[in-house]
Amino acid sequence: MDVFWLIIFMVMIGAIIGGLTNSLAIKMLFRPYKEMRIGRFLVPFTPGVIPKRRHELAQQLGRLVIDYLVTADGIAKRLMSSTFIDGLTKWLQNEAKQLLVSKQTGEQLLEKQLGITGFKQSLTEKSKQLVANGYRRFFTKHRFHSLDELLPTSFKEKIDKQIPVLTDYILDRGEAYLQSSEGKEQLSIMIDRFLVQKGTIGNMISMFLGNDRLVDKVQPAVIKGLQDPETRRVVKQFIEQEWNKLKQKQLHVVEHYLNEKEVVSYIQQAIEENVPLFDWLDTPLNEWAPQYEGAVMEQVIPMTVDLVIGLIATHLETILGHVHLDDIVKEQVEAFSVERLEELVLSISKREFKMITYLGAFLGGFIGLLQGILLMIIR
C-alpha cells in the first residue's frame, strides 16, 4: 500500500515539475524583457530569448521578407495580373469621370489637389522667358549668317514658286485699279502734276489735248503695258533679284528692324491663343473636358496603366533595392514593443502553449510513474 502511494506521489511530482518547466520555458521566450544585473554581473538567462535576440530576429525577418515573402517576381506577377490591371483601370476611370464633370477650373483643381498656386501666371512667365532666351540665343548664334543659310530649303522653294503668282497678282491688281474710276482719277491727277512740272510745254500740251482726253489715251496704253508679257517678265525678274538680294543679307541686318520685346510678346500671345492649356486653366472642367471623355476613358487611361505597370514590373527589383524593404522590416521589428509582441503571440498560440504545458506535465508524470515502477522492482 505504501508503494502505491509512493508511485502516486512520484507521478504528481513529475507532472508538476514537467508542467512548470515547460511553462517557464515558454515564459522565458519573452521574459524578462530587460537584462538584470547583480553589481557588475549579468543574471543568467536575462533578458529573455526574443528580447535578447531581437536584432538578429529583425535581420532574419527582413531577409525572409525580401527573399521569400515580398519578392520582385511575386509582386510583378500580381501587378501584371488581369484582375489587378482591370481593377486599377476601372478605379481610375471612375475618378476621371467625376473629375471631367467638375465645376472647378484647371487652376483651382491644381491648387486643391496638388497645392500648386498661381500655375497659369507661372506658366506664362516661364514660357515668355523661354521665348526670350530662345530669341537671344538664336540671334547670338546666327547673327552673321545669311538668311539663305538660315531659312529652311522648303520655305525658300515655296517662295520661289510663289514669285510668278505674286507677279501676276501685282499686275492684275494694278490693271484692275487703273480700270476703276478711282484709278483713272488718280492717273489724271498724276498727269496733271506731270504737266505742271514741265512748265510752258506742259501747259501747251494740256491746252491742245485737254486733261481728260490725255487720260483717256494714257489709261489704255498703261493697261496694255501691264498686260504685255514682257512687263510680266521684267516684274518677275525684278522680284527674283530683290528676293536673292534679301537672302544674301546677314541676320544682323534684319535684327535692326526688329524689336525684341514686340517679337517676344507676339510669339507669347500666339502661344497663349493656340495652346489650349492656357484656356483650360481658366475654364471649368465641365465646359471643355467632356469632349475628351471617350479618348481619356478608352485610350489614355488603359494606355497609361499598361505603361506604368510595365515600367514598374520591369524595374521592380531595382525599385525594391532602393526602397531597402529589409531595413524597413528590421527597423519596425526592433521598434516593436516586446510586451505587445508577447501579447500578440500568446493571443494566437495560447491553446498550443497550454498543450505544450500539459504535455510537459504528462511526460513528467509518466517519467515519475516509470521511476516508481522501477523503484518497486528494485526493492
Cα–Cα distance measured from residue 281 to residue 168, given in angstroms and rounded to the nearest whole number: 47
- Check residue 199 and give its pLDDT: 55
What are 148's three cell numbers?
A: 539663305
Cα–Cα distance measured from residue 279 to residue 15, given in angstroms and rounded to the nearest whole number: 86
Domain range annotation of the chain: 2-79+317-378, 146-249
Amino acid at position 351, single letter: R
Per DSSP (E only), the strands in the chain are: 37-38, 41-42
Burial of 213 (0-12, 13-18, 19+ CB in 10 A): exposed
At a CB cut-off of 8 Å and minimum separation 6, what does 142 contact?
A: 149, 150, 251
Cα–Cα distance measured from residue 258 to residue 262, given in angstroms and rounded to the nearest whole number: 8
Cα–Cα distance measured from residue 361 to residue 373, given in angstroms and rounded to the nearest whole number: 18
Most distant pair of Cα atoms in the chain: their distance: 176
pLDDT digits (tens, 9 = 90+) for 118-176: 888 888 899 989 999 998 898 889 888 888 888 888 988 999 999 999 998 988 888 88
- Check residue 162 and give its pLDDT: 92
Task: For 43, list phi and psi in degrees, rounded to 5.
Answer: -70, 130
How many angstroms separate the Cα of 16 from the Cα of each of 162, 171, 268, 276? 113, 125, 92, 85
Residue 289's nearest CA partner among 113, 108, 101 is 101
What are 144's three cell numbers?
A: 552673321
Quick check: 167 and 235 in contact, CB under 8 A? Answer: yes
What are 341's three cell numbers?
A: 509582441
Place of cell 497663349: 272
The neighbour count for residue 277, using CB atoms within 10 Å, is 13
Q: Which residues of the chain have pLDDT under 70?
A: 1-2, 191-214, 379
At a CB cut-off of 8 Å and minimum separation 6, what does 171 contact?
A: 226, 227, 231, 232, 235
Whether pTM > 0.75 for this model: the answer is no
- Check residue 182 and give its pLDDT: 85
